[in-house]
Structure 1
């Protein structure tokens, strides 16, 4: 197996949880797309990043079964690991900034892969959902109280969410999904504090220039 790092992206405030991300730092050693797809399938993470140029932040993103022009949590994880001011993805250039322990990226909502955003009446309804059959990528969410460690202002929305990729690739539920949170932020037009999966935490902020920021904590 090719050498790779494993990160946890969108960790909780106490450093737990987060979605596991594979990062192949020597991307040119696995140059062909079919080879990269095979590596991503063998690793079996929700997504794997291949770094083609660490100084430029040039990356390539794969799920176990397909290539993605852009995805949120791989970009946050790669930005944290590489320490670059921007990332270059197939969808476009992603701005990066850091604020304490939180790494932020900024992207366009139309870069995100399609997701079905399905609102529920309470967090308990979201918690009680069974994994749906394969077919569509479902982001189940409900409004909830904002966690006490967030200070985003009066307009912030607290969200409880779960993500079901529906790809039949062995990932029945995503622990944390930046692109889906980006789409929900675009729909609501407000900053979010999202608690997803077992306890991962995602922050988002719409910007005046039309971009949306996605932020979170990253750990090895």
Structure 2
């Protein structure tokens, strides 16, 4: 079996929650794209990352069913693991930095995969939602405290690949931040925390806590 690490990305303040991420630190052991897709499907994480150059931060990202040019929470997690100033993805070069307990990336909204951002009137409505049928990728959200930028959200991939709900999704948070044009403090899933901040010239920072699960 190929060696891999498991990270938990976008943990809550107590270190719990967060979304599990598989990371193959030595991507050369699985060089073929088809084999990478097969392994990502076998591992079953929302995303699995293959590191092709740890010093330059060159990475390759897969869901259980497809390859992604960019994804938010994998970049936040791998930036923490590799401790590099940038990551090189097919979509572009992602800035990275560490700030105390938070790992941050800087990316562009147009790199993110399509998401339907669906606003609800209250956080309670979001919490009570049932998983929708497979189809569009839905990011359900509502203000918990609009003046403070606090958001309650849930992510439903709708891909039909066994991942009915994502505990935490950086790309969707990036898109919401770009749309609203303001910094956000997002609680997603059962208790994951995502911080965001718009930057000049269309860039958005996305940050959160990361810990090594195993």
Q: TM-score, normalised by structure 2?
A: 0.97
Q: Distance in 1 between matches of 2:121 and 2:22?
A: 35
Instruction: Verify the 8 A CA contact 1:156 1:191 in the aligned structure 2.
Output: no
Alignment match, 2:76: 76
Q: Deviations over 1:3-49 (max 9, x none)?
A: 00000000001100000000000101101100000000000000000
Map residues 1-220 of structure 1 onto 2, 5 A cutoff. Answer: 1-145=1-145, 156-220=148-212
Q: Distance in 2 between matches of 1:78 and 1:140?
A: 26
Alignment match, 1:151: none
Could you tell me how far 1:97 is from its partner in structure 2?
1.1
Unaligned stretches of 5+ residues in structure 1:
147-154
Q: Distance in 1 between matches of 2:164 and 2:96?
A: 30
Unaligned stretches of 5+ residues in structure 2:
none
- RMSD of the alignment, in Å? 0.9
Q: Deviations over 1:156-210 (max 9, x none)?
A: 5110000000000000000000000000000000000000001000000000232
Aligned length: 212
Could you tell me how far 1:145 is from its partner in structure 2?
2.9
Q: Distance in 1 between matches of 2:39 and 2:81?
A: 20
Q: TM-score, normalised by structure 1?
A: 0.95
